[in-house]
Amino acid sequence: MKKNCIKIMIFVIILSLTAVFSQPTQLKTYGYFDLEAEISNKDAAGERGTFDQHHFNMISIYQLDEHFRVFGEIEFEHGAAIEGDSEGKTTGHGEVVVERVWLEYKHSDLLKAKLGKFLPPFGIYNLKHDATPTFLPVTLPGSLYGKHENTVGGEQRLFAKYATGIQLLGSLFLNEWEANYFLYVTNGRGPEPDSKDNNSNKALGGRFAVIHPFLGFNLGTSFYSDVNGNAKNTKQSTLAFDVILEHSNFSLESEYFFHQMEEVDIDTVPNGDFRKGTGYYLQGAYTFGDRLTPYVRYDFSNHNAPISNHGETDVVLGVNYSITSRVYLKGEIHDFSYQSSAKKNYQMFATAIAVAF
């Protein structure tokens, strides 16, 4: 079935490459930066407190003509300082990552195609990923967007943050309504997901959303499935639903999800049994004078749902202040609690300044 999906998507892309008219190339550049600080009573390291020059991202968009454009984004994370020696070994800290690089072909609003490395459209936030000036909180809801223990003892996200392959997308407009779709086939997760897939099962994913801007109503659903090469080639999938309601200065958003991860036997071979998990969050905010926005969030998850004492809760109280239309100051208090006595409850304060340019 997956092979048929790949063939269909490639056929649609080839079929749509018609009526292309040459125009002068146009280059635009954008970017964002943030500096974070946090302190907690989780452990000795948390009590010391720390600054983190988390993101410095440069974005370039090359508009080739009315149909084609090339998009690239490079991220320098955690104050990247990396050096190499004559033997090819690297030292230093931080990361330099090509987050996105793709060619987009636009046939119409209803049919576009992206080829390359992109952010899988999942939930409210993955398309925004690390672009902290575009969202209220310092940290995204950990239940859905954080890392969690998998069935082989490692930590991972519930879906790929980046993916390399082919994506079809488009929008349909009907009166005041807008409907968006995204469908993609990519390499699954693994040691080198941008250059090779270490198993024959491609990742499949998609997102569908309905928007009514005047009613302040957004409703969406997302799915992702792959055979995870970073987790002994276990089958994994996640399905999520999201809603955003906005009225005047008030906004409310929520996402609910459930996932399953294949278990392994004593020899770490996938055995066909699945661990299931679920979770949700609810976040409310109110903006005063177009600048000051306090918000509150309740975030719950149980990533081993059959076992009742695996639940985790994060209650967040925060505020976002728009210094200018491009500079934002944020601060939030977290109260983490765990149903399992093996994990210690703790509190954390996090703050950040985020800049779009």
**In the predicted structure, residue 53 carries a pLDDT above the cut 70:** yes
Give me 281's structure tokens.
Answer: 């969050």
Beta bridge partners of 97: 75
205 domain residue, yes or no = yes
| Residue 6: predicted pLDDT | 54
Kindly state the helix (H) or strand (E) to which residue 226 belongs, with its residue range. Answer: strand 217-228
Segments forming the whole domain that contains residue 172 = 2-81+91-356
Model pLDDT, residue 4: 53
Write down the pLDDT at residue 255.
99
What does the DSSP assignment read for 71-91? Answer: EEEEEEEEEEEEEE-TTS-EE
What is the C-alpha separation between 165 and 113, in angstroms, rounded?
11
Residues 6+ apart with CB under 8 A from 295: 136, 137, 283, 284, 285, 286, 316, 317, 318, 319, 320
The predicted-structure confidence for 29-42, as pLDDT tens digits, reads as follows 999 999 999 999 99
Structurally, the chain folds into a number of domains equal to 1
**Is 211 a domain residue?**
yes
Distinct helix (H) and strand (E) counts, the chain: 3, 18
Residue 50 domain flag: yes
Domain assignment present for residue 341? The answer is: yes
Asked whether residue 86 is assigned to any structural domain, the reply reads: no
pLDDT tens, residue by residue, 127-173? 998 999 999 999 999 999 999 999 999 999 999 999 999 999 999 99
Q: What is the CATH number of the domain that holds 283?
A: 2.40.160.10
pLDDT digits (tens, 9 = 90+) for 61-100: 999 999 999 999 999 999 999 887 767 777 889 999 999 9
Give the pLDDT confidence score for residue 342 in this predicted structure: 87
Q: Among 314, 296, 211, 316, which residue's Cα sits nearest to residue 250?
A: 296
Predicted TM-score (pTM) of the model is: 0.88
Contact 255, 237 (CB under 8 A): no
Tell me the chain's radius of gyration from C-alpha atoms: 21
Question: Above 50 in pLDDT, residue 12?
Answer: no
239 found inside a domain: yes
* Residue 160 is assigned to a structural domain of this protein: yes
Sequence-ordered alpha helix ranges (H) in 114-251: 142-145
Convert the pLDDT of each residue in 248-305 to its tens digit: 999 999 999 999 999 999 999 999 999 999 999 999 999 999 999 999 999 999 998 8
Residue 24: predicted pLDDT: 56
Return the exposure string of 22-44: e unless at least 16 CB atoms fall within 10 Å of the residue's CB, then b.
eeeeeeeeebbbbbbebebeeee
In a domain, residue 172? The reply is yes
